[in-house]
């Protein structure tokens, strides 16, 4: 598959029929591991203006996904490789749901779709996570609201501390829902 490089961590599949296999999976994993943001993607859509955006995204365990919500679209993804907890948060930053996800044979959910305007982030549970994400285009960064209760991505130390605390709150949320 011929890929057009947009940056060190963003590639676009440059063919009318997109085929992604082991070679592309290895590439996106390597690029994520080397990226300062610890993630990389291959876009199956050719332009940001397209109506449907599909991406193969690799994220290392220490990648910080700033909690965010989409103002005018939903998103879905399925896990190709690894395990992750999708943490859904209310407007005050309190955990309102935790979706435990993994590969199809992991015993966890392998697919999720979020249609509501709700903050969400990822607690990556394996060294590397690879997902196939689908969302509606065109891409508009103004249509994504970053959570004001979470630190910015560039403040790595505070972001790491926030994620450690969130992992504890997510575990408490799950324990509170266990049968007694």
Domains along the chain? 3-176 (2.60.120.10)
The closest alpha carbon to 93, from 115, 114, 120, belongs to: 120
What pLDDT is recorded for position 177?
Answer: 85
Q: What's the predicted TM-score (pTM) here?
A: 0.94
Dist. CA 60–CA 136, nearest whole Å? 25
* Exposure b/e, 25-58, CB count within 10 A at least 16 = b: bebbbebbeebeebbbbbbbbeeeeeeebbbbbb
Q: Which of 50-59, 156-165, 170-179 has the lowest mean pLDDT?
A: 170-179
What pLDDT is recorded for position 21?
Answer: 96
**Band of the pLDDT at 94, cuts 50, 70, 90?**
very high
* Burial group, residue 152, by CB count within 10 angstroms (0-12, 13-18, 19+): exposed
Model confidence over 150-169: pLDDT tens digits? Answer: 999 999 999 999 999 999 99
């Amino acid at each position: 598959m011929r890929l057009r490089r947009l940056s060190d961590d963003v590639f676009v599949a440059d063919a009318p029929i997109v085929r992604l296999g082991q070679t592309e999976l290895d590439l996106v994993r390597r690029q994520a591991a080397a990226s300062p943001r610890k993630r990389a993607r291959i876009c199956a859509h050719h332009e940001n203006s397209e109506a449907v955006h599909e991406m193969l995204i690799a994220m290392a365990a220490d990648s910080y996904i700033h909690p965010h919500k989409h103002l005018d679209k939903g998103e879905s993804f399925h896990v190709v490789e690894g395990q992750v907890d999708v943490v859904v948060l209310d407007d005050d930053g309190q955990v309102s749901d935790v979706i435990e996800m993994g590969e199809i044979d992991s015993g966890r959910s392998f697919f999720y779709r979020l249609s509501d305007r709700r903050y969400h982030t990822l607690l990556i549970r394996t060294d590397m996570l690879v997902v196939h994400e689908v969302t509606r285009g065109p891409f508009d960064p103004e249509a994504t609201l970053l959570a004001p209760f979470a630190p910015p991505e560039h403040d790595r130390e505070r972001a790491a501390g926030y994620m450690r605390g969130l992992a504890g709150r997510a575990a408490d949320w799950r324990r509170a829902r266990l049968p007694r």
